[in-house]
Amino acid sequence: MHDQIRPRRKGFWHFWQRLFSKQIHGRIWQKAIAWLLAGSFLFVLAACEPIPEPNQSSIGSTNRLKTVMSRGKLVCGVSGELPGFSFVNKEGKYSGLDVDVCRAIAAALFDNPDAVQFRNLNAKERFTALQSGEIDVLSRNTTWTLGRDTGSRLAFMPVVFYDGQGVMVRKDSNIKAIGDLKDADICAQTGTTTEQNLADQMRKRNLAYKPVVYEDVNATFNAYQSGRCKAITADRSALVVRRTRLADPDNHVVLDFVISKEPLAPAVADGDSKWADIVKWIIFSAIEAEDLDISSANLTTQLQSKNADIRRFLGIDGSLGKDMGVSNDFTVRVIKHVGNYAEIYDRNLGKDSPFQLPRGQNELWKNGGLMYAPPFR
């Protein structure tokens, strides 16, 4: 009675219920089919089970080191358009501070600073190239920010250049302070912190302006050169070095004010802590070498040192390199082929370069700057 007034249930579960219940007055073959179907259903279900999430220890072992070593060279993402940081000349030869970071890693791993393949990346492309695994390291005047660190699946390495955002104008423009940029057309590159900082600064001061933005660095500077913009904004170091490539550098000036903090640091993809540690300590080794007064010029003498810190740092005593999974003398390789941080800075941006950029905040901590390596022990 009760069964009769209940609406007829349709669908998947009803089919199974009927198949197994007395509603099918069963012949043996019907039951057999039912069990067969149920068995195959369970089999399909098991096959579709999602692959379990990798546990913490397997996340940390993506093993980029193995990939790099078996490839026999490092693939390093750079700009290629910024003299002093990364620039490729007509002969295809790369130079600059960012380039030397790549060369230092190759020196440490292969005892050969030339075991690097460079990839030119603009501001927009750089993070995808790292996330997709196309490059092993990004060494391209990239500002370390919270958003990029946590949101873009990157792991930032030690800062190699403390920078700040600046503005360049024509000398005869009468622009001296940020307030003078009211209603100006300002050139900037997209995909950068530059674009965002400018907006914040102008909003803060309630100044109207017109951003004129380009994806390509050459297009940005060409627009400024041609008079499309009254001012151009970028990292100050970038303005200083790109000014030298304008048709009339002496007619342009990088203004004194700094509108942001731009700590420029290499980055690797998140999720391979072993690779991140290796890259991190190779970079620190150039800074520590300067701190310990070890350079490519005095390396042979320093290798005879009795100083315990120096001996451990150079891998004569202890097993710092070996424990990290690289050659125990990795620091020697870096210094021999690329030099300490001061040598790298001076030849690319400082006193031995056309740019003559003072060390400023990029001095060692003990000389009033921010460059500091944690202890090698």
Ligand X SMILES: N[C@@H](CCC(=O)N[C@@H](CS)C(=O)NCC(=O)O)C(=O)O
Question: Should residue 289 be labelled a site residue for ligand X when binding is judged by CB under 6 A?
Answer: no
353 near ligand X (CB under 6 A):
no
Residues 10-69 within binding reach of ligand X (CB under 6 A): none
Name residues contacting ligand X, limited to 248-267 (CB under 6 A). 262, 264
What DSSP assignment string belongs to 186-247?
EEEETTSHHHHHHHHHHHHTT---EEEEESSHHHHHHHHHTTS-SEEEEEHHHHHHHHTTSS
Site for ligand X contains 98 (CB under 6 A)? no
- 167 is a site residue for ligand X (CB under 6 A): no
x-or-dash string of contact with ligand X, 215-244, rule CB under 6 A: --x----------------xx--x------
Q: Could you say whether residue 115 binds ligand X (CB under 6 A)? A: no
Distance CA 360, CA 295 (A): 20
How many residues touch ligand X under the rule CB under 6 A: the total is 18
Nearest approach in angstroms of CB 189 to ligand X is 4
Please tell me the distance from the alpha carbon of residue 101 to that of residue 85, in angstroms, as a whole number.
10
- Interface region with ligand X, contact rule CB under 6 A, candidates 44-52, 53-61, 138-146, 245-253: 138-146
Judged by beta carbon, residue 98 or residue 272, the one nearer ligand X is 98
DSSP H helices in the chain: 2-5, 12-20, 28-47, 56-59, 64-71, 97-110, 126-131, 146-151, 193-204, 217-225, 236-243, 273-291, 299-302, 308-313, 320-324, 330-337, 341-348
Out of 141, 302, 348, 353, the residue judged to bind ligand X by CB under 6 A: 141
The amino acid at residue 14 is H
Contact 108, 324 (CB under 8 A): no
Q: Does 364 bind ligand X (CB under 6 A)?
A: no
Residue 227 CB, nearest approach to ligand X (Å):
19
205 closest CA partner among 176, 180, 174: 180
The answer to the question of residue 82 lying near ligand X (CB under 6 A) is yes
How distant is the alpha carbon of residue 226 from its chain centre? Answer: 32
Distance (Å) of CA 273 to CA 78, 98, 156, 311: 22, 22, 11, 27
Query: Residue 133: which residues within 8 A CB-CB, separation 6 or more?
Result: 269
Q: How far is the CB of 268 from ligand X (least distance, A)?
A: 16
Site membership for ligand X, residue 349 (CB under 6 A):
no
CA-based Rg of the chain, rounded to a whole angstrom? 30
Which token pair is 180?
């003078």
Of the two residues 225 and 328, which places its CB atom closer to ligand X in the complex?
Answer: 225
Q: Of these, 192, 260, 285, 353, which contacts ligand X (CB under 6 A)?
A: 192
When asked if residue 285 is in the footprint of ligand X (CB under 6 A), the reply is no
Q: Which stretch binds ligand X (CB under 6 A): 22-30, 79-87, 92-100, 131-139?
A: 79-87
Least Å distance between CB 122 and ligand X?
4
Which residue stretch of 61-69, 95-103, 139-147, 342-350 sits at the interface with ligand X (rule: CB under 6 A)?
139-147
* Residue placing its CB nearer to ligand X in the complex, 141 or 331: 141
Decide: is 79 part of the binding site for ligand X (CB under 6 A).
Answer: yes
Give the C-alpha separation, 121 to 112, whole Å.
Answer: 24
Helices and strands in the chain, H and E counts: 17, 15
Please give the Cα distance from 40 to 46 (Å, whole number).
10
Residue 94 beta carbon to ligand X: minimum distance, rounded to whole angstroms: 13
Residues that bind ligand X (CB under 6 A): 79, 81-82, 122-123, 141-143, 189, 192-194, 217, 234-235, 238, 262, 264
